[in-house]
Chain A
Amino acid sequence: MSNQLMILLAVLLFPGGVFALVLGLALKGADRRVAARLQSRVGPPLLQPFFDIIKLGFKRTLVPEVASETVFLYAPLIGVISMVLAAALVPITAVYTPAPAIGNLLVLLYLLMIPGVVLMIAGSASGSPYGAIGFSREMAMMIAYEGPLVLIAAAVAIRTGVGMGGTVSFSLSDIIAYQQTHGSFLLDPVMWPALAAFCFFYPANIGIVPFDIPEAETEVLEGPLLEYSGPTLALFKIMSALKKVVVLNLGIALFLPFAPENWLLALVVWLVKMLVLMLVGVTALRVAIGRMRIDQAFIFFLKWPLLLAVASLAVVVVV
């Protein structure tokens, strides 16, 4: 009984739910602020993402006449629920360990696919031609980056499993425990191809320039999000804020989970790692270059991240 209560608290309060949402929006605020400074602009206040959500909450939701209303309205809700669950799956070293029933890398991989699928469904349910283009682009992007992600996960799982004397371990707690005793995968040359592939994956999954192609504002006017307004649009923003936390935390869990014993210190170290991953992998990247075209991004992903991910799997299996 208390176990179920703990899971519920993990999902709703910490590290999922409220905590992940606040953190995700704060990261977004920091990202916008730093990007503005890099472009010699003043930039919005740090709390701007919170203001945006609150403002959208008070607005009306307009449903286009051609949209299929039920799907249109409930799709973002599914996305948010999937991400709230996912946020409770990933451990934070020395701070939070998920219940063994849910802390599984494979479950997380499935949950991580849902926001993309939700965007596709939302885009096609809205009935807008731009939503349709967004749909096909989102699908191409997912095909491009999900493959490498699965291979990266497999490489990590095999490395952990073999290291612990078994064959393969998809338990996130095991992955962290192994790295706690044997050193982070960040310092393990065998894992560097996987790490490099992950560095390509997470900006694409978070959906920023150069990989924000499905929602490219100057090309398809935010694509699937074009017809959304008010609270439903806020749900999408909440979904993407949660997804940031999940994806960044996944990176930390897979490659750099080192942390001090003290839980408070560990939490601070974890937050710093989140911020660094965000500013280096997302902010710096998106101010440094422009958007790719969908065909260019697709070929790019089939070339480099996939190659790296395959190489990492091969290296891990051989070594």
Chain B
Amino acid sequence: MSHDHTPTVAPTYSIPVGPLHVALEEPMYFKIDVEGETVKHVGINAGHAHRGIEYLTTKRTIYQNVVLTERICSLCSNSHPQTFAMAAEKIAGIEVPERGIYLRVVADELKRIASHIFNVALLVHLTGYETYFMHMMQVREICQDTLESVFGNRQDIGAMCIGGVRYDVDEKSIAYILAQLARIEPEVRDFIKTFKSNGTILRRTKDVGVLTHANAITCGVVGPVARGSGIDYDVRREATYAAYDRLPLMVHTQTDGDVWSRAMVRLEETITSIDLVRVCLRDLPGGDAHIHDRPDIPPGQAIARTEAPRGEVFYYLRTNESAQPERVKWRVPTYMNWDALRFMLQDAKVADIAIIVNSIDPCLSCTER
């Protein structure tokens, strides 16, 4: 026991990461206690991007809500209306035409390619490797061009409607999409090779932000974060929807649970997505892409779930006699995944905070709507 009265110096000090931070694309606020360069405690503060969209859905008709849900988030802007439409179709017992089912997969997978390359490119940007970031974004731009040419928009592609899809492809656009995919595929294979061999990338991503298999199950993580930690789970296979049961879907997993594993899962899924689009366009059945009338949605309730680029999106829809839904509630992958950040950031270096946060591919506007 010492009896002197020298003031004790706190071994830790806290730094604010966010709500505005160059490394975070969206407002997210972490209060991080660090000791030197090592993270000791993480406090997550959410709610900066709350816009009241869940409330707004009950003020619009169910058909209008397809448009509204697309605007929840720009990167999963296809998954939200698709899942919402699936829930509404379940209540009304609407059968989507075969062609519409296949075209839903095409739209979804094209968005997935763009989203995955975007996230991995951001990871490279955060490691300070600007040249490779520029290169990856140029490859993503091929995908964005494709989206704009086929759907008319780069981000909110407006492909989904209740009872099918709002777009159709002809011989010319099929040939165009296939040609664009042929340009993207060798580049993505190159990314995979680079990620396996490039010292700059390996140095900053291997054994960084590890989420063990056990912790992954504790947090209930979904999507590439779960698959990076060795959890073999993909909604497209577990609760198959659209045309996925007829397609050669491959689920990729990694065992290390670090930033590198999550990036690698995304890159390999991109290759699979390219294959899925090709098979869809090859086997595309004829007929209508959507039903022609707008049936009233009867009272009832339903859930639907799909695999968004970030993981499982879960929708609950309850309808009543009116044209507006009584309640719409959704759970997005980031809600499950950001809880795992406290394990990933534990004892991480300050330099790796942004890299680790980016590795769960956080989507704040989905989560806080």
Contact = CB atoms under 8 A, between A and B. Distances in A.
A218 B349 contact: no
Instruction: Kindly list the 10 A-B residue pairs having the minimum CB-CB distance in the complex, ordered from nearest.
Output: A291-B128, A290-B129, A290-B200, A129-B15, A290-B127, A39-B134, A289-B200, A218-B23, A287-B131, A290-B128
B131 A288 contact: yes
A2 interface: no
A21 to B, nearest CB: 26
A294 B351 contact: yes
Main secondary structure of the interface of A (DSSP, over half): helix
B130 A218 contact: no
Nearest to A140: B37
B350 A219 contact: yes
A295 interface: yes
Contacts of B131: 38-39, 287-288
Contact of A218 (B34, B126, B200): B126
24 contacts: A39-B131, A40-B135, A41-B134, A129-B15, A129-B16, A130-B15, A137-B37, A209-B130, A216-B128, A218-B128, A218-B354, A219-B351, A219-B354, A221-B21, A289-B129, A290-B132, A290-B200, A293-B203, A293-B349, A293-B351, A293-B352, A294-B349, A295-B37, A295-B349
B119 to A, nearest CB: 15
Nearest to B127: A290
A29 B352 CA distance: 30
A4 interface: no
A129 B13 contact: yes
Nearest to B350: A133
A217 B124 contact: no
Interface in A36-63: 38-41
A220 B350 contact: yes
Nearest to B134: A39
Contact of A210 (B13, B15, B16, B200): B200
Interface in B8-36: 13-16, 21-23, 34, 36
A129 B36 CA distance: 11
Interface residues of A, number: 31
Q: Which of A41, A218, A287, A296 has the most CB of B within 10 A?
A: A218
Given A219-B350, A294-B351, A40 B129 contact: no
Interface of A: 38-41, 129-130, 132-133, 136-137, 209-210, 212-213, 216-221, 286-296
Of the candidates A213, A291, A292, A294, the one having the most CB atoms from chain B within 10 angstroms of its own CB is A291
Given A39-B134, A218-B125, A219-B351, 20 more contacts: A39-B131, A40-B134, A40-B135, A129-B13, A129-B14, A132-B13, A209-B129, A210-B200, A218-B128, A219-B354, A287-B130, A289-B199, A290-B129, A290-B200, A291-B129, A293-B349, A293-B351, A293-B352, A294-B349, A295-B349
A291 B204 CA distance: 8
Which of A130, A132, A221, A290 has the largest count of B CB atoms less than 10 A from its CB?
Answer: A290
Contacts of A41: 134
B22 A39 contact: no
A209 B128 contact: yes
Contacts of B201: 290
Nearest to A291: B128
Nearest to B132: A290
A40 B352 CA distance: 28
B352 to A, nearest CB: 7
A99 to B, nearest CB: 42
A117 B153 CA distance: 51
Nearest to A36: B134
B222 interface: no
A296 B205 CA distance: 13
Contacts of A293: 203-204, 349, 351-352
Contacts of B132: 290
B88 interface: no
A289 B34 CA distance: 28
Contacts of B14: 129
B341 to A, nearest CB: 17
Given A220-B350, A221-B22, A290 B204 contact: yes
A218 B350 contact: no
B353 interface: yes
A136 B129 contact: no
A132 B16 CA distance: 13
Query: Residue among B21, B37, B199 with the most chain A CB within 10 A?
Result: B37
A95 to B, nearest CB: 36
Contacts of B13: 129, 132
Contacts of A39: 130-131, 134-135
Contacts of A220: 350
B138 interface: yes
A40 B21 contact: no
Contacts of A292: 203
Contacts of B351: 213, 216, 219, 293-294
Contacts of B36: 136
A104 B23 CA distance: 44
Interface string B197-211: 001110110000000
Nearest to A38: B131
A294 B37 CA distance: 9
B190 to A, nearest CB: 15
Contacts of A129: 13-16
B290 to A, nearest CB: 41
Contacts of B135: 39-40
B39 to A, nearest CB: 12
